[in-house]
C-alpha cells in the first residue's frame, strides 16, 4: 500500500511539472520568422556577376604549397571589380593576404570586416564545373560561392558604393582577408601582427562562421541569424601502435591494428567527454522556442526541466547540436602494413579533436591520452589551440551588430550560436573583445551541404541584403549609443 502511495505521489509530481511546463509554454505567444529577401533582380544579378568572376578565379590553397602568384592574380581581379576601394583605401599585402585601411573621422572604434580568399579543393562530379562561376537556377555555382567569396564580394561592394557616394566612415574600417584560412595557415596571424604593430584594437570584428540559416533545427521553419559567439578549440592527434611485426600466418594477440581498433571502439561506444549546456547553447534553444512546433516549443521553453533529456538525446538527433555540448573526436586517417601477409611493425591513427569550454584542451587531451595508454598506444599532438572567449551579448559592439541586423533584415530573428569548426576570427581575439562570426547571406540545406562538398552554390537573391548589411554596419559603428 505504501508503494502505491509513493507511485501515485510520483505520478502526481510528474503531472504537476508537465502542467507547469505546458502553462508556461502557452503563455508565451508563438511566433514565425517572417524574413525573406526583397526582390531586387537588377541589383542581385549585378552582384551575382561580380561573384561569378571571383569564383572563376581558382584560389585553391593546400598546406605547404607556395601560391602567392595565384592570389596576386585574384587581387588583380579585385582591383578590376572594385576600383574605388583600391583607389581610396590603403592596401597592405603580406604573402597573398590582404588588409585594407579606410580612414574614418575617428579611430576610437575600429571595425574589422573579414572573409577569406582561399577555397578547398574541388573533387568529384559537379552539376556545373566547380570554377565556372555558372549563374543558373537563381544561384551562383562553384567552389567558394558560399565559403566565402560571397561575403568578401559583399563588403568590398558595400565600401565601393559608399565611396561612390562620397561617404566618410564615422570610425576607421579595416577589410581583412587571408589566403590560408582553409588549412589554418599563417595568413591571418600575419595580418593581426600588422594590426598590433599599428596599435589597433578593434571595437568589433565580423567574420564568417554563422549566417542566415534556413530551418536551423527540424521543426523550426524560417530564416534565423545565427551569431557565432565563440568557437571550439582544436587539435590534430596521432596515435601510434608498435610491435615486432612478423608473418601474418602466425599472428600474435594484441597486434597494432587490433589495439587501435579496440581504442576506437571504446571511444566511440562510451561517453568519454562530459556533456554540458553552456549559457550560449541554452540561449540558442530559448531563442528558437517561440518559433518551434509545439512539442519542441514545450522542451525549448522549459530547459529547467528538460535539459538532462536534451543532453542525452542531442548527439543522436543532430551531429551539429551534439558537438555544441561536448568535446568531440573524429578518427580521420589510418595506416598499417603495406602487404596483406605482413604484420605491421607500426600502425597509426589520425584524429581531429574539438574542445568545449567546460572541458577544454588540457583536460580533454588528458582524457583521451589515458584511454590511449590503456591500449598501449603512443599519442602525439599537433597544432593544438583551446576554445576562444565568448562575445558578450551586452557589450556595445554586440548591441551595434544586433541593431544593424534588425534594420537591415526586418522580421529576422537572431540567436547565439557555437562555432564547432575553426575560423580565422580566433586570431583577432587577442586584440578584440567582441568577435562575432556571421556572414549576412542565406544558407539553406543545399548551401550547407555544398560547403566543402559537391555543387557548392549560393542563391544570389540574398546578395543585396548582404551588401546592405555591411553598408549599415559601417554607418552604425559610429552611433554614440553603440
Q: What is the residue whose three cell numbers read 579585385?
A: 78
Domain end call among 369, 385, 401: 385
- Residue 216: predicted pLDDT: 87
Q: Which residues contact 281 (CB under 8 A, 6 or more apart)?
A: 324, 325, 416, 418
- Residue 452: predicted pLDDT: 84
Bridge partners, residue 171, by sequence: 106
- Residue 21: predicted pLDDT: 63
- Residue 4: predicted pLDDT: 47
Q: Between helices 303-317 and 2-27, what is the axis angle to 10°? A: 90
- Residue 482: predicted pLDDT: 44
User: Range of 272's domain?
Assistant: 235-385
45 and 181 inside one domain: yes
Task: Give the residue-averaged pLDDT of 24-53.
Answer: 88
pLDDT higher than 80, residue 95? yes
Name the average pLDDT for the chain.
Answer: 90
Cell of 254: 594484441
pLDDT bracket for residue 22 (50, 70, 90): low
- Separation of alpha carbons 400 and 475, rounded Å: 10
- Separation of alpha carbons 225 and 210, rounded Å: 8
Are 206 and 113 contacting, i.e. CB atoms less than 8 angstroms apart?
yes
Kindly state whether residue 282 falls inside one of the protein's structural domains.
yes
Domain end call among 385, 410, 437: 385
Task: Give the residue-averaged pLDDT of 436-442.
Answer: 96
pLDDT higher than 90, residue 11? no
- Residue 481: predicted pLDDT: 46
For residue 435, give the CATH number of its domain: 3.40.630.10
49 and 137 inside one domain: yes
Task: Give the residue-averaged pLDDT of 30-46.
Answer: 91
Residues 229, 466, 441, 118, CA torsion sign:
negative
- Residue 83: predicted pLDDT: 98
Considering only 9-18, 102-111, 285-294, which range has the smallest mean pLDDT? 9-18
For 158, phi then psi, to 5°, come to -60, -45
442 and 331 inside one domain: no
429 and 458 inside one domain: yes
- Give tens-digit pLDDT for 56-93: 999 999 887 778 889 999 999 999 999 999 999 999 99
- Total count of domains within the chain: 2
Kindly state whether residue 223 falls inside one of the protein's structural domains.
yes
pLDDT higher than 90, residue 436? yes
Q: What b/e readout covers 200-238, taking b as 16+ CB neighbours within 10 angstroms?
A: bebbbbbbbbbbbbbebbeebebbbbbbbbbbbbbbbbe
Kindly state whether residue 11 falls inside one of the protein's structural domains.
no
- Give tens-digit pLDDT for 149-187: 999 999 999 999 999 999 999 999 999 999 999 988 999
- Residue 27: predicted pLDDT: 63
- Residue 29: predicted pLDDT: 79
- Residue 53: predicted pLDDT: 98
Nearest to 143 by CA among 165, 163, 128: 128
Are 431 and 217 contacting, i.e. CB atoms less than 8 angstroms apart?
no
Q: Which of residues 381 and 27 earns the better pLDDT score?
A: 381
pLDDT higher than 60, residue 449? yes
Cβ–Cβ contacts within 10 Å for residue 175, how many?
24
323 and 359 inside one domain: yes
DSSP 202-258: -SEEEEEEEEEEESSSTT--SEEEEEEEEE-EEEEEEEEEE---EETTSPPSS-HHH
pLDDT higher than 80, residue 23? no
Kindly state whether residue 8 falls inside one of the protein's structural domains.
no
The 3-state DSSP class for residue 72 equals helix
- Give tens-digit pLDDT for 179-207: 999 988 999 999 999 999 999 999 999 99
- Separation of alpha carbons 260 and 254, rounded Å: 9
Q: Which of residues 221 and 45 earns the better pLDDT score?
A: 45
Nearest to 288 by CA among 232, 230, 225, 209: 225
Return the H-helix or E-strand segment holding 135: strand 135-136
- Give tens-digit pLDDT for 304-362: 778 888 888 888 777 888 899 999 999 999 998 888 988 889 999 999 999 999 999 99
Task: Give the residue-averaged pLDDT of 231-256.
Answer: 88
- Residue 18: predicted pLDDT: 63
425 and 338 inside one domain: no
Amino acid at each position: 500500500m505504501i508503494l502505491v502511495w509513493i507511485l501515485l505521489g510520483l505520478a502526481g509530481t510528474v503531472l504537476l511539472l508537465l502542467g507547469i511546463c505546458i502553462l508556461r509554454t502557452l503563455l508565451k505567444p508563438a511566433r514565425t520568422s517572417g524574413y525573406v529577401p526583397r526582390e531586387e533582380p537588377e541589383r542581385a544579378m549585378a552582384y551575382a556577376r561580380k561573384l561569378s568572376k571571383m569564383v572563376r578565379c581558382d584560389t585553391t590553397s593546400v598546406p605547404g604549397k607556395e601560391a602567392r602568384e595565384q592570389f596576386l592574380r585574384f587581387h588583380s581581379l579585385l582591383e578590376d571589380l572594385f576600383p574605388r576601394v583600391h583607389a581610396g583605401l590603403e592596401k597592405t599585402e603580406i604573402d597573398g593576404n590582404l588588409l585594407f585601411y579606410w580612414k574614418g573621422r575617428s579611430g576610437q572604434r575600429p571595425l574589422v570586416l573579414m572573409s577569406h580568399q582561399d577555397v578547398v579543393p574541388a573533387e568529384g562530379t559537379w552539376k556545373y564545373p566547380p570554377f565556372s562561376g555558372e549563374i543558373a537556377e537563381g544561384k551562383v555555382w562553384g567552389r567558394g560561392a558560399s565559403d566565402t567569396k560571397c561575403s568578401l564580394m559583399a563588403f568590398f561592394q558595400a565600401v565601393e558604393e559608399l565611396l561612390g557616394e562620397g561617404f566618410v566612415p564615422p570610425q576607421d574600417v579595416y577589410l581583412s582577408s587571408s589566403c590560408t584560412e582553409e588549412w589554418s595557415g599563417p595568413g591571418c596571424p600575419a595580418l593581426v601582427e600588422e594590426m598590433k604593430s599599428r596599435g589597433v584594437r578593434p571595437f568589433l570584428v565580423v567574420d564568417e562562421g554563422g549566417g542566415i540559416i534556413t530551418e536551423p533545427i527540424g521543426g523550426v521553419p524560417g530564416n534565423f541569424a545565427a551569431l557565432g559567439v565563440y568557437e571550439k578549440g582544436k587539435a590534430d592527434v596521432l596515435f601510434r601502435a608498435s610491435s615486432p611485426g612478423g608473418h601474418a600466418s602466425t599472428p600474435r594477440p594484441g597486434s597494432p591494428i587490433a589495439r587501435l581498433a579496440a581504442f576506437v571502439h571504446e571511444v566511440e561506444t562510451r561517453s568519454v567527454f562530459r556533456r554540458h549546456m553552456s549559457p550560449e547553447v541554452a540561449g540558442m534553444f530559448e531563442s528558437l522556442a517561440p518559433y518551434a512546433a509545439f512539442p519542441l516549443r514545450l522542451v525549448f521553453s522549459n530547459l529547467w526541466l528538460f535539459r538532462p533529456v536534451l543532453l542525452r538525446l542531442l548527439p543522436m538527433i543532430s551531429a551539429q547540436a551534439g558537438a555544441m555540448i561536448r568535446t568531440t573526436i573524429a578518427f580521420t586517417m589510418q595506416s598499417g602494413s603495406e602487404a596483406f601477409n605482413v604484420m605491421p611493425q607500426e600502425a597509426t591513427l589520425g584524429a581531429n579533436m574539438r574542445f568545449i569550454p567546460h572541458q577544454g584542451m588540457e583536460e580533454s587531451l588528458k582524457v583521451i591520452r589515458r584511454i590511449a595508454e590503456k591500449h598501449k598506444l603512443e599519442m602525439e599532438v599537433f597544432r593544438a589551440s583551446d576554445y576562444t572567449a565568448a562575445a558578450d551579448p551586452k557589450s556595445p559592439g554586440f548591441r551595434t551588430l544586433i541593431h544593424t541586423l534588425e534594420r537591415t533584415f526586418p522580421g529576422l530573428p537572431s540567436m547565439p550560436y557555437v562555432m564547432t569548426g575553426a575560423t580565422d576570427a580566433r586570431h583577432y581575439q587577442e586584440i578584440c573583445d567582441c568577435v562575432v562570426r556571421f556572414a549576412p547571406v542565406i544558407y539553406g540545406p543545399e548551401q550547407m551541404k555544398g560547403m566543402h562538398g559537391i555543387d557548392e552554390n549560393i542563391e544570389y537573391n540574398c546578395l543585396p541584403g548582404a551588401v546592405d548589411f555591411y553598408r549599415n554596419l559601417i554607418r552604425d559603428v559610429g552611433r554614440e549609443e553603440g
